[in-house]
A and B are shown apart, each in its own frame.
Chain A
Amino acid sequence: MTSTRGATLEFRDVSKRYGGQLAVDQLSFKVPAGRICILVGPSGSGKTTSLKMVNRLIEPTAGSILIDGRDVLREEPTALRRRIGYVIQQVGLFPHQTIAENVGTVPRLLGWPKARIAARTEQLLALVGLEPSRFAGRYPAQLSGGERQRVGVARALAAEPPVMLMDEPFGAVDPIVRDRLQNEFLRIQRDQGTTVLFVTHDIDEAIKLGDRVAVMRGGKLVQYAPPGELLAHPVNAFVAEFVGSDRGLKRLALLTVGGMDLDTNVARAAVSPNAPILSPASTLREALIRMLASEAQVGVVLDGQRYLGLLTLSKIGKMIRSDA
């Protein structure tokens, strides 16, 4: 599969005023090409307004939004939108069209030849895990919520957009399906290399999916950082409270055993046989839980058959303290 190259996305002093009310207040940040930026914050923080200004469903009052350095305000809105994928929480599939027709919407608008649209549709359905021969001819009402959401993602990706906007796309599905959709989304995003701007109010989703997380409050950007940084160094009490008092634990889920300073002074033979075996790829959170559950309170780190050392509770504690 040819992977699309994402574009850079930049907000430059973007404001949106409704009457006397500032919904978005001088928002500035850059998303590198091919990265996922999550806009997160409580309701009314201006995150959805910010997202919709990128494809000009809402027009900014001031400032500029640049995609690969080009100001979106200088472009014709319909042409602009055809180059930007768009997924909303309610999905908004066209109920009177088949799944294949839905996915082919933007390519049809762009005047692709029929054969190319058919080939692309099939490829995309396979990409999002829907067997084309089973799903292409069905109607949205015949699909489950999770399946519809996948079609929404496939439809947004149809014309290989360099930028994709997602407004709480997994908000309406149950937690188990959401988790699976998130994992698939990450796989697809890495595969396609699309730059993604993603709105959620769920901090856990933001931490799981984001390369960068923009925390917003009252239309202002409060902190813009990678998830690990956000958890380790919240800039103020609002962010600290928003990411949760368990931010230390959340952070452990982002770190791997392989990145830790291990205790190499103890020979493997000297370690209790109850100690769990950990791989460098497992997260610190998982390692901690298994260590606490075993009586040994330490973990043996093996890379395949090779013994790398011991992970101890005090090493994990030291890591948390050093950053907090």
Chain B
Amino acid sequence: MTLLGDVARWFADPAHYQGSDAVQTRLLEHAAVSGLAVLTGLLVALPIGLYLGHTGRFGFIAVNVANIGRAIPSLAAIALAIPIAGTLLGVQNGLGFWPTFLALIPLAIPPILTNAYVAVRGVDRDVIEAGRGMGLGEAAVLRVIELPLALPLILAGIRTAAVNVVATATLGALVAFGGLGRYIVDGLALQEYDRLFAGALLVALLAIAVEVAFGTFERAAVSPGIRVQQGAL
């Protein structure tokens, strides 16, 4: 009970909305590194997943890459990213934003790649054959048929990636990055549990916001014809 009250008081304190440790600053840092990591993962994984799904070849690559990506512990990935970022981008970049960003990318890729592959692969072969038979070229088959029909699963993959990344970006605080993890790590170190809980709550809220945003986007982007098919309309 007292902890809840402390957390509420923490949020009510205007001092927590000022300076470099302000809630809005940390929130923005967290969202920025997460957003950029997901976007980068998307740019890498989506074209590969769509291509593999369309051709139906090298499916094992999609699945294995996904499994490797999932098997690496996030903390280890961040630790590994320190020397990598240092080497690639200069020693001054070996801590903070860059290792966090680099470590989050392999976390974003697997669900996007696997879902894109499985989704495109799973499109009804008869529909594709009908499309080809009517004179759609390969690019048109992907654009006009496979992509819209695979969209719900593809979006689900991106959403999973985004939620994972938002949750894991918390670890960035361990390598001197800001973000909401700052509150958790500092709260733990200083035994300020109100701060720790406030940080945890903010991360959870951000993750939920991502879920809700994707759900809204999916309803707008997915054809009602597919929802009719799934019996949701």
Interface of A toward B, CB cutoff 8 Å: 55, 57, 77-82, 86, 88, 90-98, 105-106, 109, 139-142, 155-156, 165
Contact = CB atoms under 8 A, between A and B. Distances in A.
B19 interface: no
B40 to A, nearest CB: 29
A139 B133 contact: no
Given A92-B128, A109-B136, A141-B228, 11 more contacts: A78-B136, A78-B137, A90-B124, A91-B126, A93-B130, A94-B127, A95-B226, A96-B226, A98-B225, A139-B229, A155-B134
Contacts, number: 83
Contacts of A79: 135
8 contacts: A81-B132, A82-B134, A86-B134, A88-B129, A94-B131, A95-B229, A105-B136, A141-B225
Contacts of A165: 133
Contacts of B128: 92
A93 B149 CA distance: 12
B131 A109 contact: no
Interface of B: 124, 126-137, 140, 144-145, 148-149, 222-226, 228-229
Given A88-B130, A95-B149, A141 B229 contact: yes
Contacts of B145: 94
A106 B135 contact: yes
Given A92-B126, A94-B127, A95-B149, A57 B225 contact: no
A96 B130 contact: no
A81 B130 CA distance: 11
A82 B136 CA distance: 8
A81 B135 contact: yes
Contacts of A141: 225, 228-229
Contacts of B135: 77-82, 106, 109
Contact of A88 (B126, B137, B148): B126
Contacts of B223: 95-97, 139
B133 A55 contact: yes
Nearest to B226: A96
Given A92-B129, A95-B149, A105 B228 contact: no
Contacts of A96: 148-149, 222-223, 225-226
B176 to A, nearest CB: 47
A97 B225 contact: yes
Which of A77, A94, A96 has its CB near the most chain B CB atoms (within 10 A)? A96
A95 B133 contact: no
B181 to A, nearest CB: 40
Nearest to A86: B133
B230 to A, nearest CB: 9
Contact of B228 (A90, A93, A142, A156): A142
Nearest to B224: A139
B225 A139 contact: yes
Contacts of B133: 55, 57, 81, 86, 88, 92, 165
A155 B131 CA distance: 11
Which of B130, B131, B226 has its CB near the most chain A CB atoms (within 10 A)? B130
B151 to A, nearest CB: 8
Nearest to B127: A92
Contacts of B222: 96
A139 B226 CA distance: 8
A8 B219 CA distance: 48
Contacts of A92: 124, 126-131, 133
A81 B132 CA distance: 8
Closest 5 CB pairs of A and B: A92-B130, A139-B225, A96-B223, A82-B135, A81-B135
Nearest to A98: B225
Contacts of B149: 94-96
